[in-house]
Amino acid sequence: MADETVFFLLRHGETALTAERRFSGSGGADPALSERGRGQAGQVAGAAVLEAVEAVVSSPLARCLETARPVADRLGLPVTVADGLRETAFGAWEGRTFAEVRERFPAELDAWFAGPAAAPPGGESFDDVTSRVAAARDELLAAHRGRTVLLVSHVTPIKTLVRLALGAPHEAVFRMDLAPASLSAVAHYPDGNASVRFLNATAHLA
Protein backbone atom coordinates (compact mmCIF):
# COMPACT_ATOMS: atom_id res chain seq x y z
CA MET A 1 0.00 0.00 0.00
CA ALA A 2 1.34 3.40 -1.00
CA ASP A 3 0.52 4.99 2.36
CA GLU A 4 2.05 2.30 4.56
CA THR A 5 4.47 3.41 7.26
CA VAL A 6 7.33 1.00 7.80
CA PHE A 7 9.26 0.90 11.07
CA PHE A 8 12.59 -0.87 11.03
CA LEU A 9 13.28 -1.81 14.64
CA LEU A 10 16.96 -1.99 15.56
CA ARG A 11 18.10 -3.27 18.93
CA HIS A 12 21.26 -1.50 20.11
CA GLY A 13 24.62 -3.22 19.91
CA GLU A 14 26.29 -5.08 22.72
CA THR A 15 27.40 -3.44 25.98
CA ALA A 16 29.36 -4.99 28.82
CA LEU A 17 26.07 -5.61 30.63
CA THR A 18 24.55 -7.26 27.55
CA ALA A 19 27.42 -9.72 27.37
CA GLU A 20 26.95 -10.63 31.05
CA ARG A 21 23.16 -10.92 30.61
CA ARG A 22 22.44 -8.36 33.31
CA PHE A 23 19.27 -6.29 33.63
CA SER A 24 20.11 -3.02 31.91
CA GLY A 25 17.25 -0.57 31.72
CA SER A 26 16.74 3.17 31.96
CA GLY A 27 16.84 3.46 35.74
CA GLY A 28 20.48 2.68 36.41
CA ALA A 29 23.79 3.03 34.59
CA ASP A 30 23.77 4.23 30.98
CA PRO A 31 26.49 2.01 29.51
CA ALA A 32 28.20 2.74 26.23
CA LEU A 33 28.67 0.12 23.55
CA SER A 34 31.48 -2.36 24.02
CA GLU A 35 34.14 -2.74 21.35
CA ARG A 36 32.09 -5.57 19.88
CA GLY A 37 28.97 -3.42 20.04
CA ARG A 38 30.65 -0.62 18.12
CA GLY A 39 31.61 -3.15 15.48
CA GLN A 40 28.00 -4.32 15.29
CA ALA A 41 26.84 -0.72 14.84
CA GLY A 42 29.20 -0.37 11.90
CA GLN A 43 27.96 -3.62 10.39
CA VAL A 44 24.29 -2.70 10.64
CA ALA A 45 25.02 0.64 8.99
CA GLY A 46 25.90 -1.32 5.87
CA ALA A 47 22.67 -3.34 5.79
CA ALA A 48 21.16 -2.94 2.33
CA VAL A 49 17.62 -3.13 3.67
CA LEU A 50 18.13 0.20 5.45
CA GLU A 51 18.81 2.14 2.23
CA ALA A 52 15.08 3.00 2.09
CA VAL A 53 15.14 4.67 5.53
CA GLU A 54 13.99 8.30 5.48
CA ALA A 55 14.32 9.15 9.18
CA VAL A 56 16.25 7.83 12.18
CA VAL A 57 14.73 7.94 15.67
CA SER A 58 16.48 6.68 18.80
CA SER A 59 15.94 6.02 22.45
CA PRO A 60 17.78 8.67 24.49
CA LEU A 61 20.12 6.11 26.07
CA ALA A 62 23.77 6.12 25.04
CA ARG A 63 23.90 2.59 23.64
CA CYS A 64 21.08 3.37 21.21
CA LEU A 65 22.46 6.72 20.13
CA GLU A 66 25.84 5.10 19.47
CA THR A 67 24.15 2.41 17.39
CA ALA A 68 22.02 4.91 15.47
CA ARG A 69 24.78 7.31 14.43
CA PRO A 70 26.64 5.14 11.91
CA VAL A 71 23.40 4.39 10.06
CA ALA A 72 22.32 8.02 10.13
CA ASP A 73 25.75 9.19 8.98
CA ARG A 74 25.70 6.75 6.06
CA LEU A 75 22.26 7.95 5.01
CA GLY A 76 23.00 11.64 5.63
CA LEU A 77 20.18 11.93 8.17
CA PRO A 78 19.97 13.44 11.66
CA VAL A 79 19.17 11.33 14.69
CA THR A 80 16.09 12.47 16.59
CA VAL A 81 15.20 11.20 20.07
CA ALA A 82 11.94 9.71 21.33
CA ASP A 83 11.90 9.21 25.09
CA GLY A 84 9.13 6.63 24.80
CA LEU A 85 11.59 4.24 23.12
CA ARG A 86 13.80 3.92 26.22
CA GLU A 87 14.15 0.58 27.96
CA THR A 88 12.16 -0.45 31.03
CA ALA A 89 13.33 0.99 34.34
CA PHE A 90 14.22 -2.16 36.27
CA GLY A 91 14.57 -0.47 39.66
CA ALA A 92 16.37 -2.64 42.23
CA TRP A 93 17.17 -5.20 39.53
CA GLU A 94 19.37 -2.87 37.50
CA GLY A 95 22.81 -4.32 36.89
CA ARG A 96 21.95 -7.72 38.40
CA THR A 97 21.90 -11.07 36.63
CA PHE A 98 18.73 -13.12 36.44
CA ALA A 99 20.18 -15.54 38.99
CA GLU A 100 20.90 -12.71 41.41
CA VAL A 101 17.36 -11.36 41.04
CA ARG A 102 15.90 -14.85 41.52
CA GLU A 103 17.88 -15.23 44.74
CA ARG A 104 17.13 -11.80 46.23
CA PHE A 105 13.65 -11.03 44.86
CA PRO A 106 11.94 -14.41 44.25
CA ALA A 107 8.36 -13.28 44.97
CA GLU A 108 8.69 -10.09 42.96
CA LEU A 109 10.20 -11.97 40.00
CA ASP A 110 7.39 -14.54 40.06
CA ALA A 111 4.83 -11.73 40.06
CA TRP A 112 6.62 -10.04 37.16
CA PHE A 113 6.38 -13.19 35.09
CA ALA A 114 2.77 -13.79 36.14
CA GLY A 115 1.23 -10.56 34.88
CA PRO A 116 1.99 -7.20 33.24
CA ALA A 117 0.85 -5.07 36.19
CA ALA A 118 3.73 -6.16 38.46
CA ALA A 119 6.90 -4.09 38.53
CA PRO A 120 10.41 -4.65 39.85
CA PRO A 121 10.89 -2.79 43.16
CA GLY A 122 11.24 0.87 42.23
CA GLY A 123 10.82 0.12 38.52
CA GLU A 124 8.25 0.00 35.74
CA SER A 125 5.67 -2.67 34.98
CA PHE A 126 5.07 -4.07 31.51
CA ASP A 127 1.77 -2.15 31.54
CA ASP A 128 3.71 1.08 32.15
CA VAL A 129 6.09 0.34 29.31
CA THR A 130 3.31 -0.65 26.93
CA SER A 131 1.50 2.64 27.57
CA ARG A 132 4.48 4.83 26.78
CA VAL A 133 5.67 2.70 23.84
CA ALA A 134 2.19 2.76 22.28
CA ALA A 135 2.04 6.54 22.76
CA ALA A 136 5.46 6.93 21.12
CA ARG A 137 4.37 4.69 18.24
CA ASP A 138 1.26 6.79 17.64
CA GLU A 139 3.27 10.03 17.71
CA LEU A 140 5.80 8.61 15.26
CA LEU A 141 3.07 7.34 12.95
CA ALA A 142 1.49 10.79 12.90
CA ALA A 143 4.83 12.48 12.24
CA HIS A 144 6.05 10.04 9.56
CA ARG A 145 2.93 8.85 7.79
CA GLY A 146 3.82 6.94 4.62
CA ARG A 147 7.57 6.93 5.31
CA THR A 148 10.18 4.33 6.21
CA VAL A 149 11.71 5.02 9.62
CA LEU A 150 14.48 3.38 11.63
CA LEU A 151 13.68 3.14 15.36
CA VAL A 152 16.71 2.29 17.50
CA SER A 153 15.60 0.90 20.82
CA HIS A 154 15.83 -1.95 23.32
CA VAL A 155 14.49 -5.45 23.90
CA THR A 156 11.27 -4.60 25.74
CA PRO A 157 10.08 -1.70 23.57
CA ILE A 158 10.82 -3.61 20.35
CA LYS A 159 9.08 -6.74 21.57
CA THR A 160 6.16 -4.56 22.64
CA LEU A 161 5.87 -2.92 19.22
CA VAL A 162 5.89 -6.35 17.58
CA ARG A 163 3.38 -7.75 20.07
CA LEU A 164 1.00 -4.85 19.52
CA ALA A 165 1.29 -5.21 15.75
CA LEU A 166 0.38 -8.89 16.04
CA GLY A 167 -2.45 -8.29 18.51
CA ALA A 168 -0.75 -10.91 20.67
CA PRO A 169 -1.18 -11.28 24.44
CA HIS A 170 1.36 -9.99 26.92
CA GLU A 171 2.97 -13.43 27.26
CA ALA A 172 4.31 -13.08 23.71
CA VAL A 173 7.15 -10.87 24.97
CA PHE A 174 8.65 -13.92 26.70
CA ARG A 175 8.53 -15.93 23.45
CA MET A 176 10.63 -13.67 21.24
CA ASP A 177 14.40 -13.53 20.96
CA LEU A 178 16.22 -10.35 19.95
CA ALA A 179 19.98 -10.45 19.46
CA PRO A 180 22.11 -7.33 19.92
CA ALA A 181 22.05 -5.21 16.73
CA SER A 182 19.25 -7.34 15.26
CA LEU A 183 16.67 -5.86 12.90
CA SER A 184 12.91 -6.39 12.84
CA ALA A 185 10.26 -4.65 10.73
CA VAL A 186 6.61 -3.72 11.16
CA ALA A 187 4.37 -2.09 8.56
CA HIS A 188 1.44 0.08 9.66
CA TYR A 189 -1.46 0.86 7.32
CA PRO A 190 -3.89 3.82 7.16
CA ASP A 191 -6.82 1.62 8.24
CA GLY A 192 -5.11 0.89 11.57
CA ASN A 193 -3.92 -2.60 10.71
CA ALA A 194 -0.30 -3.69 10.96
CA SER A 195 1.86 -6.59 9.84
CA VAL A 196 5.20 -7.92 11.03
CA ARG A 197 7.59 -8.20 8.08
CA PHE A 198 10.42 -9.98 9.90
CA LEU A 199 11.91 -10.47 13.37
CA ASN A 200 15.45 -10.71 14.79
CA ALA A 201 17.31 -10.59 11.46
CA THR A 202 21.10 -10.78 11.94
CA ALA A 203 22.47 -11.59 8.46
CA HIS A 204 24.11 -8.15 8.34
CA LEU A 205 26.33 -9.21 11.26
CA ALA A 206 27.85 -12.19 9.43
More confident residue, 52 or 3: 52
Share of the chain above pLDDT 90, in %: 95
Q: Is the pLDDT of residue 2 over 70?
A: no
- Dist CA 142 CA 72 (whole Å): 21
Of the listed ranges 1-10, 119-128, 146-155, 158-167, the least confidently predicted one is 1-10
- Dist CA 53 CA 10 (whole Å): 12
Q: What average pLDDT score do residues 15-42 get?
A: 93
CATH number, domain of 81, equals 3.40.50.1240
What's the pLDDT band for 28 if we cut at 50, 70, 90? confident
Whole-number mean pLDDT of the chain? Answer: 96
Report, as residue numbers or ranges, the catalytic residues: 12, 87
Q: What is the pLDDT of residue 1?
A: 52
More confident residue, 54 or 27: 54
Domain range for 130: 5-205
Q: What is the pLDDT of residue 54?
A: 98
Q: Is the pLDDT of residue 120 over 70?
A: yes
Q: What average pLDDT score do residues 196-203 get?
A: 98
Q: What average pLDDT score do residues 66-82 get?
A: 98
* Structural domain count of the chain: 1
Residues 136-183: tens digit of each pLDDT: 999 999 999 999 999 999 999 999 999 999 999 999 999 999 999 999
Q: What is the pTM of this model?
A: 0.96
AA identity, residue 92: A
Share of the chain above pLDDT 70, in %: 99
Q: Which of 146, 188, 196, 195 is nearest to 3 (CA)?
A: 146
Q: What average pLDDT score do residues 178-200 get?
A: 97
- Dist CA 154 CA 10 (whole Å): 8
What is the residue-wise DSSP string for 139-199?
HHHHHSTT-EEEEEE-HHHHHHHHHHHHT--GGGGGG----TT-EEEEEE-TTS-EEEEEE
